[in-house]
Each structure stands twice: as structure tokens, then as C-alpha cells.
Amino acid sequence: MREELAAKRARDIRGMFGRIAQRYDLLNRTLSLGCDRRWRRAVAARVATAAPRRLLDVCTGTGDLALGQPTAGSVYGCDFCLPILALARAKSAAAATRPAWFAADALCLPLADGALDAVTVAFGIRNFEDLEAGLHELARVLRPRGRVVILEFSTPRGALAPVLRWWVRHVPPLLGRLISGDGEAYRYLSTSVATFPDGDELCGLLEAAGFAGVRATPLTGGVATLYDGARAGDGRVR
């Protein structure tokens, strides 16, 4: 029964992103007031310190993060939603970085153990049907001391927290309905952020999956958080 529910959730999420694919970038810019571009640049800067030769962007969406990677090595992008992956391919035709795109579920990546130097995920781990299994899979495909950098929405904290929480709860469904005609997809955004582990809790899950030196950096009042760490140097995935 648990496997059936997980498979249904994955189908629902895949279908949801397929429905909003054509408006995905516009909604991201609008809902984040343009901050999503700055957040992705922060991911790219963190990745650049590791100078990876082989980098995979998981849950790549329309490919913005993969296309913005400042690396001379090989860049790959994967997603399990084919309509949105097609948009990433179209974007790369006019881009300086030309990632290799492929369709894959983050819980079952078609890569050998230790195949990569770095893995990134932007706003994707919240959609893993099994978060712990997904984090273990990211560790599996990284070489020892390979870098993981994750960007994800989180619960705002601090003086502006009430305003930011109100924005996340009410604005996405409204704008999602007006721009894409699918308010339900962006209602999912606010509810999933409210229930998803963040901060120290997510750092603990990353450590349990086999990552060391994990740190969390809140962005824009904690609306989003940047997580990074390295696969344990002993080569073992717990």
C-alpha cells in the first residue's frame, strides 16, 4: 500500500509540473520577485569552489541551474517530467553551457556509484516521494568528498517572518491560478513548504544519508535555504 501511494504521488507531481510547464519560468520570477535568479547564482558560486569535472543537476526543471554552472567540465540535467525537460533542451540551444539532458527519477538515477563530482538540486527535494531514499541516492552517485548543494524553500524566520509566511501561504495559489490557470499546483507549494523538514532537521537527514560538513545558509529572510556538504570521505554510503 505504501508503494502504491508513493507511486501515485509521483504521478500526481509529474502531471502537475507538466500542466504548468509553459508558465513555469514566469511564475518563478513573479512569485519570488526575481529572487530565484539570485538564489541560483548562490548555488553556482558554492558549486564553483569544488571545481567539479562532472556535475548533475537533479530535478532540473527548465534547466536554469544547469545552464548557469560555471564549470569547464561536463554538466548533466535530469528530470522525470518530460514536458518541462523539453523546455530545458530548447533553452540550451542558445546557451553557452550545453548540458546533456536525460529523463530520470531522482530515486533511481541511471549512474554508477561515485560517478559524479557534484550534484545540485533546486526546489526539487521537497518533491521526492521518499526523502531519505532520495538523499541516499544523491550520495551514492557522488565520489568520496564529492559536493552536494541543495536549494529549497523553507519556513521564514526573523522580524519579517509573519509577512513572508503570509506571502508563501496566500500569493502562490492566487498568482498560479491567474497566470497558469492552475491554482492547485501552487497551493501544493505552500502546503508542502509548511510540512517539509528544513534547517537543522534537513541537515541531520543529509548527515544520516552519508554527507559530512553539512551547513544551512538561509536566504532572503529564510524563504529559501542553501544546504551544502560533502559525501563522507571513506566512500561508504550509510
- Nearest Cα to Cα of residue 127 among 6, 35, 215, 1: 6
What is the full DSSP assignment across 149-172?
A: EEEEE----STTHHHHHHHHHHHH
Q: Write down the pLDDT at residue 93.
A: 83
Taking residues 87-112, report their average pLDDT: 91
Listed range (7-16, 53-62, 85-94) with the worst mean pLDDT: 7-16
CA angle 178, 219, 43 (to 5 degrees): 95
Stretch (H or E) spanning 55:
strand 54-58
pLDDT score at 1: 46
Average pLDDT value for residue range 118-138: 95
- Write the burial class of residue 144 (CB in 10 Å: 0-12 exposed, 13-18 middle, 19+ buried): middle
- Does the pLDDT at position 152 exceed 80? yes
Q: What is the rounded average pLDDT for all residues in the chain? A: 85
CATH dotted code for 2-138+146-231 = 3.40.50.150
pLDDT reported for residue 3: 55
Going by pLDDT thresholds of 50, 70 and 90, the confidence category of residue 40 is: very high
Per mean pLDDT, which range of 90-99, 102-111, 217-226 is the poorest? 90-99
Alpha-carbon distance of 213 to 231, in angstroms, equals 9
pTM (predicted TM-score):
0.87
Instruction: Spell out a b/e string for 174-188, using b for 16 or more CB atoms within 10 Å of the CB, else e.
Output: ebbeebbebbebbbb
pLDDT class of 214 with cuts at 50, 70, 90? very high
Sign of CA dihedral 41, 46, 50, 53: negative
Give me the pLDDT at residue 212, please: 97
